[in-house]
Chain A
Amino acid sequence: MLDTRYRVEIPGGIKLEAQVVGPIPRFFALAIDLTIRGVLFFLLSLAMIPFAALGAAELGGGLYLILLFLMEWFYPVLFEVLWRGQTPGKRVLGISVINDDLTPVTLGPSLVRNLLRVIDFLPLMYLAGLVCMLSNRRFQRLGDLAAGTLVISVRETAKPAAIENIEPLAPSTALLRSEQTSIIDFLHRSRQLSEPRQHELAAILDGVTHEPSENGVDKLHRIGAWFLGVR
């Protein structure tokens, strides 16, 4: 089964969950970062003109090469360490690099994962990285494996639909907690589901609700509201 949840037990005895992120958002983040780097590169080249005009082309050239070097190897490292694991591209996509114990990524691991980028790039267009990502559950590329890092989603999750105008209804039989949770989840998520799909799901419980599907959805919502504590 496809499951993007990554669980770690943290101090405090809590099992914390994070959603790991697959190749597609990471590709878009990379594309944005490459564009930004391209623009920076262009501006940097423009900035060389005054140096040449002042007869200090060699000095400008030296600075240019150093900045080029920093941009080539340290652009992601700098952002990941100083900006909570996010390069500008990752920030736009709402994803973030994190150590595999879910603590923020630090300089060392960030350096390792980004230096190994050249291997992930092989043989071309990050093919090795992609194959590696798709062959493990945490979508780690080779650099991530060596550095012990992963990329997770840090985007706000959608808030559940507010429950209004629902008359609570006590269930006719006692239900297990897990069953209650399922019904509450159904209530919360029904706005994200199409009408036919809702009916389809409600139809599964025909034997419990004793209602045809149209009313079944309604009845489940009312029972859900009851379980939530609406009186």
Chain B
Amino acid sequence: MKQQLFEAQHEDTWARIEESLGKPGKADNSRILSEHYLLLCHHLAIAQERMYDAALVERLNRLVLDLYRELYRYRSETRLNLYAFVLRDFPHAIYRLRYYVLIAALLFVLPLLIAGTWTYFDDEAVYSLMDGSQVRDVERMYDPEARKLGREREADTDLFMFGFYIKNNISVAFRCFAGGMVVGIGTLLVLLFNGMFIGGIAGHLTRLDYVDTFYPFVIGHGSFELTAIVFSGAAGLRLGYAILHPGQFSRLDALRLAGRDVIPMLYGIVIMLIVAAFLEAFWSSSASLPIAVKYSVGGLLWALVLGYCFSGWRRESR
């Protein structure tokens, strides 16, 4: 069949489909969509096989591509099923990346402990970890004397701090993950630095005996926040290690697989840090609650988070 005859036969159909693609909503009927898709695949195959000219093949190719994109637009992956994610996908991702989680946890906790011990025993040590004004700010925040004098924080301030924690903490976690792209070095630095910083402050404040103001404040949200930072580190290390040691894959394929692998981790980090910011702004900051309540709820939250992290294990071994 000559090209012109072929075009004349099908021009109406093509024009109709082109028009329906231009107006989203019309092409949403998946049965019609798949019929169009199959028909156009057929036409494209014919046009390629008979070597009709490039312009026609290109036009049909464009139509098939548009239909294909339309057809695969609605996939279950796009609809976030929060319930299944929290109960199944996230714990499973933690299990899958367990070695990375372990290493990220060590990279975070070891500097934390070392810096903590150091600043606890050495008065000057904290000044080698951060500058003087930062130390003074932190001291003022947790000074038991100042606490009694200062009034209870208002709800407005809590909201401001909520926004502040969201922006700051999630940005740190994202940067920690992205740092994995530099063969993991960025992730490594973020983990080490944050571990040292947090440990240094904790040791210093313990030395000053600000125990009753500092620990009840941090124990609650720390469960979600510190764990999430470790997870973002694990995700970053996964990327970095894929580049460094791709195994039986090409480096590009290994990286791409790693990228797909860490996606549930990223969702999980965001959820956990929103919870952490909420706790930090509205629960941890309230000074009216007795310290015993703060500690027990904090302990409970830690048990919950750690228990949750291991919930993927049981499923796997069954």
A residues with CB within 8 A of B: 10, 12-18, 56, 58-59, 61-66, 68-69, 72-73, 81, 84, 98, 100, 102-104, 106-109, 111-112, 115-119, 122, 142, 145-148, 154, 156-157, 159-160, 177-178, 180-181, 184-185, 188-189, 227-230
Contact = CB atoms under 8 A, between A and B. Distances in A.
Interface string B169-186: 011001101110110001
7 tightest A-B contacts by CB? A229-B2, A65-B163, A62-B163, A229-B4, A108-B263, A146-B259, A58-B156
Given A109-B259, A227-B3, A157 B62 contact: yes
Interface string B52-91: 1111101101101110110011010110100000000000
A146 B51 contact: no
B44 interface: yes
Contacts, number: 166
Given A112-B262, A112-B266, A119-B181, A66 B167 contact: yes
A157 B59 contact: yes
Nearest to B177: A115
Q: How large is the interface on B (under 10, 10 to 19, 20 to 34, 35 or more residues)?
A: 35 or more
Contact of B54 (A73, A147, A188): A188
A107 B163 contact: no
A181 B256 contact: no
9 contacts: A58-B160, A66-B167, A103-B72, A103-B75, A109-B259, A117-B178, A119-B178, A145-B259, A185-B53
A109 B162 CA distance: 28
A69 B69 contact: no
B168 to A, nearest CB: 8
Nearest to A108: B263
Contacts of A188: 53-55
A112 B162 contact: no
Interface of B: 2-5, 37-38, 41, 44-45, 48, 50-56, 58-59, 61-62, 64-66, 68-69, 72-73, 75, 77-78, 80, 154, 156-157, 159-164, 166-167, 170-171, 174-175, 177-179, 181-182, 186, 239, 252, 255-256, 258-260, 262-263, 266-267
Contact of A112 (B64, B66, B72, B263): B263
Given A119-B186, A145-B255, A72 B171 contact: yes
Contact of A148 (B59, B61, B167, B256): B256
Contact of A81 (B41, B54, B64, B78): B78
A65 B166 contact: yes
Contacts of B53: 160, 181, 184-185, 188, 228
Contacts of B162: 62, 66
Given A157-B58, A229-B5, A63 B51 contact: no
Contacts of B55: 157, 159-160, 185, 188-189
A206 to B, nearest CB: 23
Contact of A10 (B50, B68, B252): B68
A230 B4 contact: yes
Contacts of B174: 73, 115, 118
Contacts of A189: 55
B61 A16 contact: yes
A195 to B, nearest CB: 21
Contacts of B239: 146
Contacts of A112: 259, 262-263, 266
B69 A104 contact: yes
B166 A229 contact: no
A101 B51 CA distance: 25
Given A59-B159, A65-B167, A111-B263, A104 B72 contact: yes
Contacts of A178: 51
Contacts of A103: 68-69, 72, 75
A102 B51 contact: no
B178 A115 contact: yes
A105 B141 CA distance: 45
A146 to B, nearest CB: 4
A98 B73 CA distance: 11
A59 to B, nearest CB: 5
Given A62-B160, A100-B256, 9 more contacts: A15-B48, A65-B163, A102-B68, A115-B178, A118-B174, A146-B258, A178-B51, A228-B3, A230-B4
